Structure 1
Amino acid sequence: MRKVILVGVLSAFSVSLMAATQVRVVGLFNGAAVVNIDGQRKMLKVGQTVGEVELIKADSREAVLRVGETTRTFSLDREYSNGFAAPQKRQLSIARRNDGHYWANGSINDRPIQFLVDTGASSVAMNEDDARRLGLDYRQGRPMTVNTAGGNKRAWAVRLDRVKIGSIEVLGVDAVVLEGQYPLQALLGMNFLNRVGWHEEQGVLHVEAKH
């Protein structure tokens, strides 16, 4: 009789586990996390709650979540559809900063640079100081004139061997180097973004390599 009761208890416990909220952390930032809750992706900041899930703490390595009565530490996970473990793609999630912009640490020809992600810019663009720091012989590029908010600017069209943000790299990217100090930060424009997969959701820019 005891065995029958024990089996019944274990069976009920298993059903309870199956019915529990399914939680995955798919994006990590300082003070925030992108959490997949029962298949719905949500951007949570520390202290925010969705249903029975509360974000207690988060940094670039892990997040602490309270799910119901349980507190657990989560590392970055990957999302799969219908249980099919497809090959992992190179992905990057960028949280929008308080200034309303998306910033990404990356590199040009293996030299580090910080990009301002600009969907309004047709191409990668930078000023002369950035170009020199990156070792670009930009004055050997094709001379051109660019119309900016400050008027017409002299510029040079160049070809970059490699442009990278996170683990996502695109080879052979055209760029524009403008004379003077404009733009103040290097711009990651649409000629890069159009060669990767990207979408914006709840203040997070998700970028994914196509191959």
Structure 2
Amino acid sequence: MMPLDKKTVAMMIAAGGLSCTHTWAASVSVVGLFKDKAIVSIDGGKPRTLSVGQTVQGVKLLAADSGSASFDVDGKRRTLGMGQSFAGGAAAAERQSVSLTADARGHFAAAGSLNGYPMTFLVDTGATSIAINAAEARRIGLDYKAGQATGVGTAAGVVPAWRVKFNTVKVGGITVSQVDGMVVETGLSMPLLGMSFLNRMEMRRDGQTMTLTQRY
């Protein structure tokens, strides 16, 4: 077969004579919503702002407001709310999930580990990060006072706290590395599984069951 010159190749592509391979996003996560704009993480990447009509990595924003955003992903329309995500293709099959059951008060507890030490967390979407008290930090051998000192408001007033980074956080079969956390001196009776972990999950609730599926 004779080699094709650049002009012939270009004509064949335009006419559909050669196929092109498209790389579609494996996952889309919504981290911010505004009128006609959405902040998304694509394939676990750095959050970026999309405007209506804009396409990035095969993801096109069709519509957006403060409540939800609609996307065209791989030729299909997907509507997601704040904190929700979509994963397609092989990525969806490989992701780990864990199901939690609410207690009598409607709270979800999750058995897992922090830096390899067993721990039971309370799922708290109102907490910006994973939070534990100083006694728990000492139990797992965490040098938390080497972290950034700050303060947090509690019912008893502002108490000392330190920003830290947890090497690993595990819940069920899900393991996440390098997770932002907080160690609070007093006033925290149970470790909180906050948004620094939950932002990496797809969260779905069906009655008394919550399912966490790892996004990245």
One of 85, 89, 99 as aligned partner of 2:95: 89
TM-score, with structure 2 as normaliser: 0.56
SS in 1 for 2:93: coil
Residue in structure 2 matched with residue 162 of structure 1 by the alignment: 168
One of 199, 202, 206 as aligned partner of 1:197: 202
What amino acid does structure 1 have at the position aligned with 2:124?
D
Which structure 2 residue ranges, 5 or more long, are not aligned? 1-89
What amino acid does structure 2 have at the position aligned with 1:194?
N
Written as runs of structure 1 = structure 2, the 5 A alignment for 1:161-180 is 161-180=167-186
String of CA shifts for 1:102-159, please: whole Å, max 9, x gaps. 0000111111100001111111101111111111000111110111232101111111
Residue in structure 2 matched with residue 136 of structure 1 by the alignment: 142
CA RMSD of aligned residues (A): 1.5
The answer to whether the aligner puts 1:123 opposite 2:129 as a matched pair is: yes
String of CA shifts for 1:176-197, please: whole Å, max 9, x gaps. 10112x2100000011100111
Q: Give the whole-Å Cα distance in 1 for the aligned partners of 2:114 and 2:183.
A: 13
What amino acid does structure 2 have at the position aligned with 1:192?
F
Q: Give the whole-Å Cα distance in 1 for the aligned partners of 2:103 and 2:123.
A: 12
Instruction: Give aligned-pair identity as a percent.
Output: 40
Task: Tell me the CA shift for residue 88 of structure 1.
Answer: 4.2
SS in 2 for 1:192: helix
Report the number of matched residues: 126
Which structure 1 residue ranges, 5 or more long, are not aligned? 1-83
Q: Give the whole-Å Cα distance in 1 for the aligned partners of 2:102 and 2:94.
A: 24
The answer to whether the aligner puts 1:208 opposite 2:207 as a matched pair is: no
Runs ≥4 in structure 1, deviation > 2 angstroms? 86-89
Residue in structure 2 matched with residue 114 of structure 1 by the alignment: 120
Residue in structure 1 matched with residue 190 of structure 2 by the alignment: 185
Q: Give the whole-Å Cα distance in 2 for the aligned partners of 1:194 and 1:117.
A: 12
